[in-house]
Chain A
Amino acid sequence: MAPDSYNPVNHRAVEVLVSKLRRRQVIGSREAALETVRVLRQVVSKARFSNIDQLVNLIRSVGKRLVEAQPKGNTVRKILHHIREEYNTAINGVASTSSKPVFSISNFVLQGQPRKQSVALKSEGSMTLKENDPDDPDSFARGLKPVLMEAIQDVLDELETVYDTVSKNAKDHIHSDEIILTIGYSKTVEAFLKAAAHSRNYTVIVAETGPSYSGHEMARALSSAGISTFLVPDSSIYAIMSRVNKVILGAHAILANGGMFAITGSLLAATAARVHSTPVAVCAGQFKLTPLWNLYHEFGALDFADPSSVLGFEEGNLVDKVDVMNPYYDYVGPELVDVFITNDGDHPPSSVYRLIKETYDDDDHEL
């Protein structure tokens, strides 16, 4: 049911991205987001549409394909949101400001997009956009496209600077002589810790997390930046937790209920920290927010990986008789996290739902 302006060129670009995601050739969620935005930019620039709904449907169909490859269509949703915003401002000329904001819970729930009034005016004056013009079906598209490309470029810029914005307040969170515990390898956490190391002197304990042992790269990266680092196996997380001042984790996805998916081992670290009353901070870019909240009920969301890294084939006689499990992600509930440090500021898990309302449109929750 793709609209007939479904360009074969777009089709190819999307297919390439889908197969890359499926084969996990795109490493890191930021990379995936960047690639998605680039592909969507291509799609939008080449698309031909006469009214906004066609464009939206086009992008949604692309998004559906991407979501099948990797169940997190956040960037698609974000772009749709921006597109709708731009469209609304273009149509209405001046952005409509609501009356004096009334702060009550019911308003937040009813309003939907409370940020609408603060949209910057990108289009000058009032553009006359005629939808479904029978004579000139492309006029609508032509008029709207530059604005859309700018909006998409904004998203791209935000994605590219996410590490810097997250680490802006790093030195407020970390003090001298602290011992920080982290798990595995997250680029956001690495940037955060390196930024704090410029002005603070502290120690980091990295738990290599099996079976990916990504903690080794993290330890190497941090120690080459001059931060004293200790590498420990995950079995000793509880043992050293009594000396740790803070736990800083990276996230793969932040769910709407304030919980998150993170690399395996994060649940152990967060639970041990809770037992010792140690604060847990999570560094993540805003693009990791997802409006789905019940993913943790799905066992498959844990993204099982190759079992031979747990029990290799060299243990030949065991391989038949034994089941091996190798989940890639852990679900960490909202009660175990104290703060989410994002490029948009610091938020407690209880207000994640508000962020989601502001960033995404309600209709896009189901792509």
Chain B
Amino acid sequence: MPSSSSIPPNAPNSDSRPPLKLQKELTKAERRELQERQRAAKLASKGGAAPSGSMAKSTPKPGAQAPATSAAPKRGRRPSESAPRAPAVAPGRAAKDAKIAVPSTLEPSPGNARSLRIFSHFGLPKTVSVAKGDIHPAILRLALQFSNFKITGANARCIATLTAFKTVIQDYATPPNNTLSRHLMTHLSPQISHLVAARPMSVTMGNAIRQLKLEISGSDIDLPEQDSRSSVVEKVLLGAHSEGRTFSVIVVDSRPMLEGKRLLSVLAEAGIQCTYMLLPSLGAVITEVSMVLVGAHSIHSNGAVYSRAGTALVAMLAKQHSIPVVVCCETYKFSEGVQLDSFTKNELAPLGDQFASFPLTKPRESLTLNNGPHLEILNPLYDLTPPTSITAVVTEVGVIPPNSISSIPLALGRLL
């Protein structure tokens, strides 16, 4: 075994690195300084090594325009890009020391824990930065709620956003010597950026805001009215039950969010026969299921469904047993563009209160697992279900197969 390529993975951290700044944001100057320092350290230890210092990876920023997907990171080479759109960009975990992964040619700098760089572009959820400029208090409150995951779900977030913007616009008065449309746009932009900095924008919000801007520039301000709806699947089941259909529901739940419990209580109250289980137990009952019903965060134009983590597993298993998988999704969740895998766009759940999602039967001591030198806890919130696992998509305009998704926005006359 050639010893040059065997890296001791657990040597202690070398002293010249600064403590990992995960939660705080580094300004551009600090980042550059960090890069320079690491580059110098690497040069010193190797004498003319290949250029790969610490890469500042900015989190993907789906703005009001078409979502700019960050390039899928390849191991070892990462362009040091910094395209700040929002004023505060947190490089997230990439500020951790990077280790060169080029195998066996270079002597890697000793003593840094290998971070898994394929996850580094997710970034951790950031604390809301100091507001730059005057941000409307409704937006401030909304941003805080987003970053603490008090409002979750694509629909809920979109509705909350639009309601907040309604308040903003109502309070807005055109300053003199300015046209309404143009100034309103510039007034809204920092508010939108603030929201994006709190939590990456969902496709629903992006679509809604784009629609809003379109309306504004067309000078006729008329916000679409949204009646507050709860989750679509819940509505579907309750509706079917009230029509007198008899069926039983198996609610499959999973960490990190354990949102199934809310659905379970609603259905149980309505008197529907329910069974509750966690995701890994699915294999035991899948043969007795007649249909799988899932919600979606958004649908891409190739029919791939971007939804809560775990959906892809359920759909895959159901498809293998020839069970129809139906996605309930409104048309305003359709997103242009195609996403290839779950890494291009994703979020991590905050590590905050872990105990809430664990059963009481587990002793607390065994659950205090924090990030150690070689251990990291990741909770991706979303995943991508490929169109092959999906049988049909139910929208407010009908039931359509997944590969026809791309033609729907056009058919509805929208220029999304």
Is B280 touching A265 in the complex (CB atoms < 8 A)?
yes
Q: Is there a chain A Cβ closer than 8 Å to B268's Cβ?
A: yes
Known: A227-B9, A271-B320, A330-B280. A236 touches B380 (CB 8 A): yes
Is B380 touching A216 in the complex (CB atoms < 8 A)?
no
Q: Which residue of A lies closest to B10 (CB)?
A: A226
Is B278 touching A210 in the complex (CB atoms < 8 A)?
yes
Tally inter-chain residue pairs, CB-CB below 8 A.
Answer: 207
Q: What's the minimum C-beta distance from B142 to chain A, rounded to whole angstroms?
A: 27
Is A312 touching B361 in the complex (CB atoms < 8 A)?
yes
> Which residues between 308 and 353 of chain B lie within 8 Å of chain A, taking CB atoms?
308-310, 312-313, 316-317, 320, 341-343, 346
Is B373 touching A213 in the complex (CB atoms < 8 A)?
no
Q: What's the minimum C-beta distance from A265 to chain B, rounded to whole angstroms?
A: 3
Q: Is there a chain A Cβ closer than 8 Å to B75's Cβ?
A: yes
Q: Which residue of B lies closest to A226 (CB)?
A: B10
Q: Which residue of B lies closest to A270 (CB)?
A: B283
Q: Is there a chain B Cβ closer than 8 Å to A232's Cβ?
A: yes
Q: What's the minimum C-beta distance from A83 to chain B, rounded to whole angstroms?
A: 38
> Which residues between 221 and 249 of chain A lie within 8 Å of chain B, taking CB atoms?
222-224, 226-240, 242-243
Q: What's the minimum C-beta distance from B382 to chain A, rounded to whole angstroms?
A: 8
Q: Which of B36-44, B111-119, B144-152, B290-298 contacts A (4 or more CB under 8 A)?
A: B111-119
Give which listed residue, B7, B277, B309, contacts A325 with CB less than 8 A. Answer: B277
Q: Is there a chain B Cβ closer than 8 Å to A155's Cβ?
A: no
Q: Is there a chain A Cβ closer than 8 Å to B6's Cβ?
A: yes
Q: Is there a chain B Cβ closer than 8 Å to A136's Cβ?
A: no
Interface string of A178-199 (1 = CB under 8 A from B): 0100000000000000000101
Is B369 touching A311 in the complex (CB atoms < 8 A)?
no
Give which listed residue, A199, A235, A313, A317, contacts B1 with CB less than 8 A. Answer: A199
Is B310 touching A235 in the complex (CB atoms < 8 A)?
yes
> Which residues between 306 and 320 of chain A lie within 8 Å of chain B, taking CB atoms?
306, 308-315, 317-318
Is A219 touching B284 in the complex (CB atoms < 8 A)?
no
Is B369 touching A321 in the complex (CB atoms < 8 A)?
no
Chain B residues contacting A234 (CB-CB under 8 Å) are 254-255, 278-280, 310, 313
Q: Is there a chain A Cβ closer than 8 Å to B256's Cβ?
A: yes
Give which listed residue, A177, A235, A264, A317, contacts B255 with CB less than 8 A. Answer: A235
Known: A315-B261, A325-B275. A268 touches B359 (CB 8 A): no
C-alpha gap A275/B264 in the complex (Å)? 31
Chain B residues contacting A239 (CB-CB under 8 Å) are 309, 312, 341-343, 346, 380, 382-384
C-alpha gap A27/B312 in the complex (Å)? 33
B contacts with A, residue count (CB < 8 A): 69
Q: What's the minimum C-beta distance from B388 to chain A, rounded to whole angstroms?
A: 9
Is B359 touching A211 in the complex (CB atoms < 8 A)?
yes
Chain B residues contacting A237 (CB-CB under 8 Å) are 313
Is A228 touching B384 in the complex (CB atoms < 8 A)?
no
Q: Is there a chain A Cβ closer than 8 Å to B395's Cβ?
A: no
Q: Is there a chain A Cβ closer than 8 Å to B376's Cβ?
A: yes
Q: Is there a chain A Cβ closer than 8 Å to B281's Cβ?
A: yes
C-alpha gap A330/B278 in the complex (Å)? 13
C-alpha gap A306/B281 in the complex (Å)? 13
C-alpha gap A210/B362 in the complex (Å)? 11
Q: Which residue of A lies closest to B373 (CB)?
A: A223
Q: Is there a chain A Cβ closer than 8 Å to B49's Cβ?
A: no
> Which residues between 150 and 193 of chain B lie within 8 Å of chain A, taking CB atoms?
none
Is A213 touching B281 in the complex (CB atoms < 8 A)?
no
C-alpha gap A146/B261 in the complex (Å)? 61
Known: A322-B274, A323-B274, A325-B285. A268 touches B317 (CB 8 A): yes
Q: Is there a chain B Cβ closer than 8 Å to A57's Cβ?
A: no
Is B377 touching A176 in the complex (CB atoms < 8 A)?
no
Interface string of A105-125 (1 = CB under 8 A from B): 000000000000000000000
C-alpha gap A239/B309 in the complex (Å)? 8
Chain B residues contacting A200 (CB-CB under 8 Å) are 6
Is A310 touching B279 in the complex (CB atoms < 8 A)?
no
Is B341 touching A242 in the complex (CB atoms < 8 A)?
yes
Interface string of B350-378 (1 = CB under 8 A from A): 00000000111110001101001111111
Known: A267-B283, A323-B276, A324-B277. A228 touches B265 (CB 8 A): no
Give which listed residue, B320, B359, B380, contacts A310 with CB less than 8 A. Answer: B359
Is A226 touching B346 in the complex (CB atoms < 8 A)?
no
Q: Is there a chain B Cβ closer than 8 Å to A326's Cβ?
A: yes
Q: Is there a chain B Cβ closer than 8 Å to A272's Cβ?
A: yes
Chain A residues contacting B255 (CB-CB under 8 Å) are 208, 210, 233-235
Is B277 touching A238 in the complex (CB atoms < 8 A)?
no
C-alpha gap A211/B7 in the complex (Å)? 36
Give which listed residue, A177, A226, A235, A325, contacts B281 with CB less than 8 A. Answer: A325
Is A236 touching B383 in the complex (CB atoms < 8 A)?
yes
Q: What's the minimum C-beta distance from A16 to chain B, rounded to whole angstroms?
A: 27
Which A-B residue pairs are the 8 nearest by beta carbons? A226-B10, A235-B310, A265-B280, A239-B342, A239-B383, A223-B375, A238-B312, A267-B283
Residues on A lying within 8 angstroms of B by beta carbon are 171, 176-177, 179, 197, 199-201, 203, 208-211, 213, 216-217, 219-220, 222-224, 226-240, 242-243, 263-265, 267-268, 271-272, 275, 299, 302, 306, 308-315, 317-318, 321-327, 330-331
A to B CB contacts below 8 Å, 21 in the list: A201-B6, A211-B359, A213-B362, A227-B374, A228-B114, A228-B374, A231-B378, A233-B254, A234-B278, A234-B310, A235-B254, A235-B308, A235-B313, A237-B313, A238-B313, A238-B316, A239-B380, A242-B341, A312-B359, A313-B360, A318-B265
